[in-house]
Structure 1
Amino acid sequence: MAICLSSASLSLPKQYHPFISTPQILYRKKKVILTCQSSNDPNEDYLLDAPVSVGDGFSFSGGKYSDEPSPADEWFKQGKIVKAHPVGGTGEKAKDPIFGLAMAGSLQASTDLFRWFCVESGSPGNPPVILIHGFPSQAYSYRKVLPILSKNYHAIAFDWLGFGFSDKPQPKYGFDYTLKEYEESLESIVNEFSKDKVTLVVQGYFSPVVVKYAKDHQEKLNNLILLNPPLTVKHANLPSTLAIFSNFLLGEIFSQDPLRASDKALTSCGPYKMKEDDAMVYRRPYLISGSSGFALNAISRSMKKELKAYVEEMRRILMDEKWKVETTVCWGQRDRWLSFEGVEDFCKESNHQLITLPMAGHHVQEDCSEEVGNIIAGILRKTTRI
């Protein structure tokens, strides 16, 4: 459970129940600085209720030009590479792109199957739960959720193609970053992880892709848990922070700027800032190759073009009486990208469980990792045999 400390006197509930929304707290003072710790380590905190400008910029200490050990290297050591989903197109290596940016060979696709970076925790004999990050993010966002689930489940987090430490082929060289391609590739990677039924947890703008996959594979799923998904018509438009990457030329330039592509994109969607060590993991792919930026540019264009239709389809699927998968929506109410308006009504109409986290932003697994881990574990206990 997150530990919250404030300069004001707060009346906090004595006990937290993972299936009952914690009531919002009204403050008398106009300005309250509230620090939320996602673990018992006082050094692992971030600032809540910060102005929008806080967290928009980070220094480069410990980054590309530092001789100090990188947190990204430590994270990479915890994972492994899994090959899944056929390389399309010609299967050739990407050409040198504009601006003279080098395309790191290790981040491009092989000639047969794509290479996905994943981190596993827990016994492979336990029920599997696959944790899917949002746009733009990485499997790293679930780093504190994994150990909570590993006690009784086989927890797996992976980087989508184009993100983190997975393959990042240049568009037209094996993968064009359309939402249809992501949907098809998801089937390949899920089957690679488990031949049995699984629970899928997905955050943010990749939720419609996962729901469309789930529609045709309901027999494969035990549960579906959506973390701040775009559920309403208003949610179908990308926020300006992400839409800028889809612009002609300007988007291509901004997607090569690590501070815009990683730091600002991650911190502008909620009232908090991350630790520098965590920011360095997210920033690392953009520092070592132009591949990450060109992938970001391509997926932004696809999202801007296709997201509306995918959100509409997701709404129809989740409202359809033929939908039989146990579905839970977990919502961080301090999301600056997606409004809570209409979410509660949608969950009531579709008869899906809604769990709210008043202190979390768009990336709830970052903001309230322990709560999210316990919520997922609680849902799984009801529907899976341990």
Structure 2
Amino acid sequence: MTHTTHHRVDIDGRDVFYRQAGEPAKPALLLLHGFPSSSHMFRDLIPLLADRFHLIAPDITGFGQSQAPARTNFAYTYDNLARIIQRFIEVLGIGRFALYAFDIGAPIGFRVAMKFPERVTAIISQNGNAYEEGLSDVWNPIRRYWSDPTTANRDALREIMKPLAIRWQYEHGVSDLSNVSPDGYSLDAFYMARPDSEEIQFDLALDYASNVVLYPMFQAYFRRHQPRFLAIWGDKDPFFLPAGAEAFRRDLPNAEIQLLNTGHFALETHSREIATAIADFLT
């Protein structure tokens, strides 16, 4: 079954959408997307790997086609998002698996790995950070919001949810923009325009500080368990600098580091290169 199928599953009363492809008997690869995207970002990667792996790509709660619970009933924190993915793994009966984590999927995925260290066979970080030196100056307005969570500082972030800013995330650092399909950023802008989506994202922007606090714990997990690790990053990423990719070797001396000549959404321009790197790495 190399074609992609689409599913929904109830996770403790919350609807979670996911894509999957590949035979369940093959090695599992869990794909976690980033902001402001969904599992749609893996649309090109999944067919390239489905003959070798069983790929499962959920939409994180509050993103894409997964349910977005009301903020009055659900606290949008990275701990809570990770707990839903942990339950997703248990409900689907995913045993041992490799983990692909991009952007905000990384701190969620690293929490999952710390929860299930015996299940994680390898980690692929695609522009997924775990070190302070990986954070660029673009984070400064969000850092101000962490240190002073006023309405004014929250409102100062509103431009990053607008269609032009979302498109910029896809196109920044890309040498040939004809390689970037408008489908990705247009769909993301549609999802972000839904009622309450902006407020959900501002809640998560505030809680991103919890990920930075956990960086030492992520690094301790790396040192203790030494998972097989591939960091494959677009080196023109305006958010997560190449220094963040290189830093993994501090705790994982055998980590493989590959830098691609592209931006944040590296799959938009380098899906074949990334698929080849994953296949070589995991096999």
Within 5 Å, which residues of 2 pair with 1:261-300? 262-268=166-172, 273=177, 274-287=180-193, 289-300=194-205
Query: In the alignment, is residue 373 of structure 1 matched against residue 275 of structure 2?
Result: yes
**Could you tell me how far apart the structure 1 residues matched to 2:140 and 2:181 are?**
20
If the length of structure 2 is used for normalisation, what is the TM-score? 0.83
- Quick check: which has more Rg, 1 or 2? 1
**Could you tell me how far apart the structure 1 residues matched to 2:254 and 2:30 are?**
20
Q: Give the aligned CA root-mean-square deviation in angstroms.
A: 2.8
Aligned residue number for residue 79 of structure 1: 6
Query: In the alignment, is residue 309 of structure 1 matched against residue 213 of structure 2?
Result: yes
Aligned residue number for residue 59 of structure 1: none
User: Per-residue CA shift, 1:138-162, capped at 9, x if unaligned?
Assistant: 1111111100111121111121111
Is the contact made by 2:131 and 2:247 (CA closer than 8 Å) also made in structure 1? no
Query: In the alignment, is residue 243 of structure 1 matched against residue 148 of structure 2?
Result: no
Is the contact made by 2:141 and 2:157 (CA closer than 8 Å) also made in structure 1? no
**Could you tell me how far apart the structure 2 residues matched to 1:165 and 1:264 are?**
23
Is the contact made by 1:122 and 1:151 (CA closer than 8 Å) also made in structure 2? yes
> How many residues of Structure 1 are paired with residues of Structure 2 in the alignment?
272
Within 5 Å, which residues of 2 pair with 1:4-15? none
Aligned residue number for residue 360 of structure 1: 262
Query: In the alignment, is residue 338 of structure 1 matched against residue 240 of structure 2?
Result: yes
> How far off its partner does 1:242 sit?
7.8
**Could you tell me how far apart the structure 2 residues matched to 1:241 and 1:163 are?**
24
Is the contact made by 1:236 and 1:307 (CA closer than 8 Å) also made in structure 2? no
Counterpart amino acid of residue 362 in structure 1: H
SS in structure 1 of the partner of residue 242 of structure 2: coil
> How far off its partner does 1:132 sit?
0.7
Aligned residue number for residue 115 of structure 1: 15
Aligned residue number for residue 120 of structure 2: 221
* Residue range with higher mean Cα deviation, 147-156 or 186-195: 186-195
**What are the ranges of 5 or more consecutive residues in structure 1 without an aligned counterpart?**
1-76, 87-112, 382-386
Distance 1:239 1:192, change over 3 A: farther
Query: In the alignment, is residue 202 of structure 1 matched against residue 202 of structure 2?
Result: no
> How far off its partner does 1:255 sit?
6.6
Greater fraction helix: 2
Aligned residue among 149, 168, 180 for 2:79: 180
**Could you tell me how far apart the structure 1 residues matched to 2:89 and 2:268 are?**
23
Distance 1:343 1:264, change over 3 A: closer
**Could you tell me how far apart the structure 2 residues matched to 1:301 and 1:337 are?**
16
**Could you tell me how far apart the structure 2 residues matched to 1:140 and 1:356 are?**
23
If the length of structure 1 is used for normalisation, what is the TM-score? 0.63
> How far off its partner does 1:188 sit?
0.8
Query: In the alignment, is residue 189 of structure 1 matched against residue 94 of structure 2?
Result: no
Percent identity, aligned pairs only, is: 19
User: Per-residue CA shift, 1:29-74, capped at 9, x if unaligned?
Assistant: xxxxxxxxxxxxxxxxxxxxxxxxxxxxxxxxxxxxxxxxxxxxxx
Distance 1:316 1:128, change over 3 A: same
**Could you tell me how far apart the structure 1 residues matched to 2:158 and 2:200 are?**
13
Distance 1:352 1:292, change over 3 A: farther
Counterpart amino acid of residue 239 in structure 2: W
**What are the ranges of 5 or more consecutive residues in structure 2 without an aligned counterpart?**
none
> How far off its partner does 1:245 sit?
11
